[in-house]
Amino acid sequence: MSRRLGHVDRVGVEERVAQLGTRSIKTTAKQQGIRLAVSMVDLTTLEGADTPGKVRNLCAKGVCPAPNIPEIPSVAAICVYPSLVATARAALQGSGVKTASVATGFPAGQVSLEAKLRDTEDAVAAGADEIDMVISREAFLAGDDARVQQEIARIKDACGEAHLKVILETAELGSYDHIRHASMLAMEAGADFIKTSTGKASSGATPGVCLVMLEAIRDYGDRTGRVVGFKAAGGVSTSKEALKRLVLVKETLGDEWLTPDRIRIGASSLLNDLLLQYAKTETGRYGRPEDFSKE
Amino acid sequence: MTTEQQRTSIVWDYAPAPEATDHVRLADRYGIFIDGAFRDPAESRYEPTLNPATEQPIAEIAWAGAADVTAAIDSARAAQPKWAALPDRDRAKYLFRIARLIQERARELAVVETLDGGKPLRESRDVDIPLAAAHFFHYAGWADKLRYGVNAREVAPLGVVGQIVPWNFPLLMAAWKLAPALACGNTAILKPAETTPLTALLLAEICQEAELPEGVVSVLPGGGDTGATLVRAPGIDKIAFTGSTAVGRDIQAALAGRPTSLTLELGGKSANIVFEDAALDQAVEGIVNGIFFNQGHVCCAGSRLLIQESVLDEVIAKLWRRMGRLRVGDPLDKNTDVGAINSAEQLQRIETLVAAGEGEGAHRRTIACDLPEHGYWFAPTLFTDVSPAHRIAVEEIFGPVVSVLSFRTQAEAIEKANNSRYGLAAGIWTDKGAKAFEVANALRAGVVWQNTYNHFDPTAAFGGYKESGFGREGGPAGLRPYLKVVR
């Protein structure tokens, strides 16, 4: 069957996000927004040099990001490679912070389906609560929607109880029409969350991309009644940018979506900027990066 | 509190974000502006101008009478030959100065526009004031290229022009009128609207700062009687009017048989047409921008929404949900989307027509929102089950009220869109390029937007068909009404 794309107007999308980008978030709104953003962070480390020691440090940071600011909540999850899931899981025991793992030949996804399934099963067996998979962009761009969906469905099965976040890698899809289409494919195939990027591509969770995916989530929810979450990842590294993403959620999906059960922000350097900006709202002074631990 | 509770207990709303007003220095009282200076009107009459969001007076404003009109015409007449005789590039220099001064005082002008007119600061800051500056920049560039703009070997200014502007975009409409008139070598007498005179008076201050020669611009605040006197006064070579069709008719009758040229930009009941193959989410944004921008106080507002039947329910559901997110209230708050209705009189007109819509059997939905206790407010309203014969489908409401009609085919959409005594603007929403051009060519409307709405640019001509008026403003076409071709 040939592919039928829905219509998304690029100019209209960009005008809408530009307008929402002018929302003024000050005083108490800024404080609450920053706390909310912290609670949604999937604190991430995805480097070849990751070690159990580094992951344990990151977990401690995620559970209690700012020991001297008690009102700052824990992050939502710690996101690591499959080989470090067991370490993270042990470090997070009893904290309420979830263990998330990338899988499926992250970030390119250019391995066989069998390898992707095995990767996923390993991560789940090691105790991952959440799996971040990547779609096969080569299949999507070649027009093979069926293969994209079959892979997602198979991996969803392999996840068992674990939540599945499906990364579209929007920078490689080429247009908003494609991003909306890929969002729908992923949701129909069983995604619990749809996610913008691996963080390894040329761009990530731009406001326009986020808006198009949030609108797809809303329309899919209207049609099926199923709630699918959204994860913005890639390029959201400042408080200002994080708050702009929350504005998009608030004004597209509504206040009931402003919870870490439904919205995540994947990031490594964002957390410390959130803490710095929060401290600034308290003290009126800009802090220094050294005020908070790196990990 | 446990981590889990901490996480789920965070509620997030925007805190009030009022724009600061302490940088604005308004006088208690403003006179009329003639010969490059402010002075008392001959009859010494002053009236307060109100903030429609609070009903509090902001300043006392002169009310120009017949003697003031005569004085302004004499001043403009005396100044005109010298102004026209200036090297073209020198006239351009003054216009560039005015444009830059508008930019320099943008923040102040935005706040005053919002205080005096009730429109959200987001709009005055991001639309009205930048566009006003852009118009002066644009026509500054034309001042030494006039004959290329109208395809003539030699052109000459008309002389003294009277310009009457409405209350919905006070400074922007003044810029639309003054910039081309001055670029072409005319001198101008500007009559701002009764409810929104302040930014025109600040523009007079800017003319002083720019050292514009005396008499080139006069500003005569006042009411309808001031405008009527200006229209009927001898010694005016051209009238340019933007406002209601009723007043436009009166002006045209008054000028019949007189050697005064005229352009009119009047009302509208513009069709915004959504086809089934449109990008629907962006169309919904365009519908919202088309009718709720500036509380619907827009002559080209997309007040007649035509939706293809196959997507009617889906678009209305999306639109209604989107309307629920509009933030109505304090116009000075930077997050406000819909501000105050401009005047008690306008509010009453909206209420009358909305009551007529309900009386005729259309289905009314108005969003739930807390409206301030004082001031003039009308919450965004959607009418469905509207018949083309209903008053709300025919008459201009000039408020945040949209009437939805449906159509089945492209031919029916065109027929319905054109079935209006107005013809100012239209919107077309489709992903098919060929269809967009075909429909645009069939529409009898001066402006047709494709996949956008209420998008203004100084390079584009704006104006109407039928009872929406005649003459064009903006771009090279906007020069023509201010020039005569000599040979």
Please give the distance of CA A74 from its chain centroid, rounded to a whole number. Answer: 16
B487 Cβ under 8 Å from any chain A Cβ: no
The catalytically annotated residue of A30, A165, A231, A244 is: A231
Whether the pLDDT of residue B107 is over 90: the answer is: yes
Taking 3-state DSSP, the helix, strand and coil percentages for chain B, each rounded to the nearest 5, stand at 40, 20, 40
Residue of B nearest to A64 (CA): B3
First to last CA, chain A: 49
Instruction: Out of B19, B113, B123, B265, pick the active-site residue.
Output: B265
- In angstroms, what separates the C-alpha of B276 from chain A's closest C-alpha? 10
- Binding-face residues of B in 122-141 toward A, CB within 8 A: 122, 126
For A16, name the nearest residue in chain B, comparing CA atoms only.
B285
CA distance A152 to A166: 8
Q: Residue range B391-398: average pLDDT?
A: 97
CA distances from A56 to A59, A106, B380 (A): 5, 22, 53
CA distances, B299 to each of B121, B308, B355 (Å): 20, 24, 21
Which DSSP category does A238 fall into? S
How far does B64 lie from chain A, in Å, by closest CA?
40
Q: How many of the other CB atoms lie within 10 Å of CB of A86?
A: 18
What's the pLDDT band for B37 if we cut at 50, 70, 90?
very high
Is there a contact between A123 and A87 (Cβ–Cβ < 8 Å)? no
The answer to whether residue B265 is catalytic is yes
Tens-place pLDDT, residues B72-99: 999 999 999 999 999 999 999 999 999 9
Q: How close, in Å, is residue B17 to chain A by CA atoms?
A: 6
Selecting among B184, B299, B395, B396, the annotated active-site residue is: B299
Contact B10 A26 (CB under 8 A): no
Pick the CATH number of B271-459 from 2.70.98.90, 3.40.50.10490, 3.30.750.24, 3.40.309.10: 3.40.309.10
- Mean pLDDT throughout B118-128? 98
Closest-CA distance of chain B to residue A23, Å: 6
Per CB distance under 8 Å, which residues of A are interface residues toward B?
A: 6-9, 11-13, 15-16, 22-30, 32-33, 35-36, 39, 63, 71, 73-74, 76, 95-97, 215, 222, 246, 250-251, 254-255, 258-261
Strand residues in B212-314 grouped as ranges (E): 217-219, 238-242, 261-265, 271-274, 304-308
Most A-contacting residue of B9, B11, B14 (CB-CB within 10 A), to test interface: B14
Tell if the CB–CB gap between A251 and B452 is shorter than 8 Å: no
Give the span between the Cα atoms of B167 and B342, in whole angstroms. Answer: 8
- Res. B8: pLDDT tops 80: no
pLDDT tens column, B190-202 = 999 999 999 999 9
- Using omega within 30 degrees of 0 as the cis cutoff, is the peptide bond preceding B57 cis? no
Q: Do B325 and A251 touch (CB under 8 A)?
A: yes
Say if the Cβ atoms of B17 and A97 lie within 8 Å: no
Judge whether B139 and B180 are in contact, CB under 8 Å.
Answer: yes
At residue A4, the pLDDT reads: 84
* Of A7, A96, A246, Cβ closest to residue B279: A7
Contacts of A251 (CB under 8 A, 6+ apart): A20, B325
What's the Rg (C-alpha) of chain A? 18
From the list B46, B56, B59, the residue with the least C-alpha distance to B118 is B56
Domains B29-266+468-485 and B271-459 share a fold: no
Burial class (CB in 10 A: 0-12, 13-18, 19+), B455: middle
Contact B438, B458 (CB under 8 A): no
| Residue of chain A nearest B18, judged by CA positions | A24
Question: Under an 8 A CB cutoff, do B17 and A96 touch?
Answer: no
Q: State the Cα–Cα distance between residues A43 and A128, nearest whole angstrom.
A: 14
What pLDDT is recorded for position A289?
85
Inter-chain contact A258–B12, Cβ cutoff 8 Å?
yes
Residue with tokens 């099963």: A121
Centre a 10 Å sphere on the Cβ of residue B411 and count the other Cβ atoms it contains.
11
Taking alpha carbons only, the member of B451, B442, B447, B449 closest to residue B419 is B442
Nearest by CB to B14, from A29, A63, A258: name it. Answer: A29
Among B4, B15, B279, whose Cβ lies nearest the Cβ of A9? B279
Please tell me the predicted confidence (pLDDT) of residue B321: 97
Mean pLDDT of B121-148: 97
Instruction: Report the Cα B12 to chain-centroid distance in Å.
Output: 35
> Is the pLDDT at B332 greater than 60, yes or no?
yes
B276 pLDDT more than 90: yes
Q: Which residue in the block uniquely carries the two structure tokens 């889990």? A: B4
CATH 3.40.605.10 at B29-266+468-485, yes or no: yes
* pLDDT score, position B3: 53
Q: Which of A67-71, A262-266, B142-146, B336-340 has the lowest mean pLDDT?
A: A67-71
Are A24 and B282 a contacting pair at CB < 8 A? no
**Does residue B450 sit at the A interface (CB-CB below 8 Å)?**
no
User: Would you say residue B400 has pLDDT above 60?
Assistant: yes
A25 CB neighbours in chain B (<8 A) are 14-15, 17
Q: What SS3 class is residue B324?
A: helix
Taking all residues of chain B, what is their mean pLDDT, rounded to a whole number?
Answer: 96
Mind giving me the DSSP string for A92-133? Answer: HTTSSPEEEEE-SSTTT--S-HHHHHHHHHHHHHTT-SEEEE
Q: Which among A73, A222, A255 has the least Cβ separation from residue B7?
A: A73
Ramachandran region, residue A233 (left: φ > 0; alpha: ψ -120 to 50; beta: rest) = beta
Burial classification of residue A136, based on how many CB atoms lie within 10 Å of its CB (0-12 exposed, 13-18 middle, 19 or more buried): buried
Residue B265, both tokens: 């930009």
Q: How far is B450 from chain A (nearest CA, A)?
A: 11
Q: In whole angstroms, how large is the CA radius of gyration of chain B? A: 23
Instruction: Read off the tokens for A105.
Output: 């030949």
Cβ–Cβ gap B452/A73 under 8 Å: no
A62, closest residue in chain B (CA to CA)? B3
B5 band by pLDDT with thresholds 50, 70 and 90: low
How far is Cα B392 from Cα B401, in angstroms, rounded to an integer?
9
Q: How far apart are CA B66 and CA B220, in angstroms?
A: 11
Residue A151 pLDDT greater than 90, yes or no = yes
- Alpha carbon dihedral A32, A37, A40, A44, in 10-degree steps, equals -150
Q: Do A255 and B277 touch (CB under 8 A)?
A: no
Write out chain B residues lying below 8 Å of A4, CB-based.
Answer: none
B8 contacts on A by Cβ (under 8 Å):
259, 261
pTM of the entire structure?
A: 0.96
Coil, strand, or helix at residue B448? strand
The first and second tokens of residue B417, run together, are 């869109």
B103 Cβ contact partners less than 8 Å away, ≥ 6 residues apart: B130, B133
| Token representation of residue A182 | 């890929």
**Min Cα–Cα distance to chain A from B475, Å:** 23
Alpha-helix residue ranges (DSSP H) falling in A126-263:
137-141, 145-159, 176-188, 207-224, 239-252
Neighbours of B168 (CB within 10 A): 25
Taking one residue from A and the other from B, the number of pairs with CB-CB distance under 8 angstroms is 94
Smallest Cβ distance to B451: which of A9, A35, A36?
A: A9
Predicted confidence band at A6 (pLDDT cuts at 50, 70, 90)?
A: confident
Q: CA-CA distance, B65 to B39, in Å (whole number)? A: 13
Q: What angle do CA A233, A260, A48 make, to 5 degrees?
A: 40
- CA–CA gap between residue B472 and residue B97 (Å, rounded): 25
**Of A30, A61, A195, A244, catalytic:** A195
If you measure CA to CA, which chain B residue comes closest to A6?
B279
* Integer Cα distance of A128 and A103 in angstroms: 10
CA distance B14 to A290: 30
Domain extents in chain B: 29-266+468-485, 271-459
User: Which three-class secondary structure state does DSSP give residue B307?
Assistant: strand
Q: Chain A: give the shortest CA distance to residue B15, in Å.
A: 5
Mean per-residue pLDDT for B225-250?
97
Please tell me if residue B2 touches chain A, with a CB cutoff of 8 Å. Answer: yes
Angle subtended by helix axes B88-104 and B170-183, to nearest 10: 160
d(CA A266, CA A196): 10
Of B343, B316, B486, residue with least CA distance to B405 = B316
Q: What are phi and psi of B136, to 5 degrees?
A: -65, -40
- Residue B370 contacts A where some CB pair is shorter than 8 Å: no
pLDDT tops 60 at residue A1: no
Q: Do B126 and A22 touch (CB under 8 A)?
A: yes
Catalytic residue status for A195 = yes
Task: Give the residue-averaged pLDDT of A40-57.
Answer: 96
Which pLDDT band holds residue B10 (cuts at 50, 70, 90)?
A: confident
Token duo for residue B296: 């619907």
What is the b/e burial string over B294-332, where b = at least 16 CB atoms within 10 angstroms of the residue's CB?
bbbbbbbbbbbbbbbeebbeebbebbeebbeebbbbbbb
Q: Which amino acid is at A66?
A: A
Shortest distance, CA A12 to any CA of chain B (angstroms): 5
Q: Helix and strand tally (H, E) in chain B?
A: 17, 22
- For A29, which of B13, B277, B286 is closest by C-beta distance? B13
Of the partner residues A33, A73, A215, the one whose CB lies closest to the CB of residue B3? A73
pLDDT attached to residue B1: 45
User: Is the Cβ–Cβ distance between B94 and B86 less than 8 Å?
Assistant: no
- In this prediction the ipTM stands at 0.94
Domains in chain A (CATH in brackets) are 10-286 (3.20.20.70)
Give contacts of A260 with chain B, Cβ < 8 Å. 7
Is the model's pLDDT at B2 over the cut of 60?
A: no
Q: Which of B64, B179, B205, B194 is nearest to B475 (CA)?
A: B179
Where does the pLDDT of residue A3 fall: very low under 50, low under 70, confident under 90, or very high at 90 and above? confident
Whether B325 and chain A come into contact, CB under 8 Å, resolves to: yes
User: Does the beta carbon of B452 lie under 8 angstroms from any beta carbon of chain A?
Assistant: yes
CB-nearest partner of B14 from A16, A23, A73: A23
Cβ of A12 within 8 Å of Cβ of B285? The answer is yes
pLDDT in tens, A190-248: 999 999 999 999 999 999 999 999 999 999 999 999 999 999 999 999 999 999 999 99
Place of tokens 């310009």: B163
Per-residue burial over B88-119, b = 16 or more CB atoms within 10 Å of its CB, e = otherwise:
beebbebbbbbbbbbbebbebbbbbbbbbbbb
> Which residue in A11, A22, A74 is closest to B122 by CB distance?
A22
Phi-psi region of B301 (alpha: psi -120 to 50; beta: other; left: phi over 0): beta
| pLDDT at residue B7, as a whole number | 59
Report the C-alpha gap between B25 and A50 in whole angstroms: 60
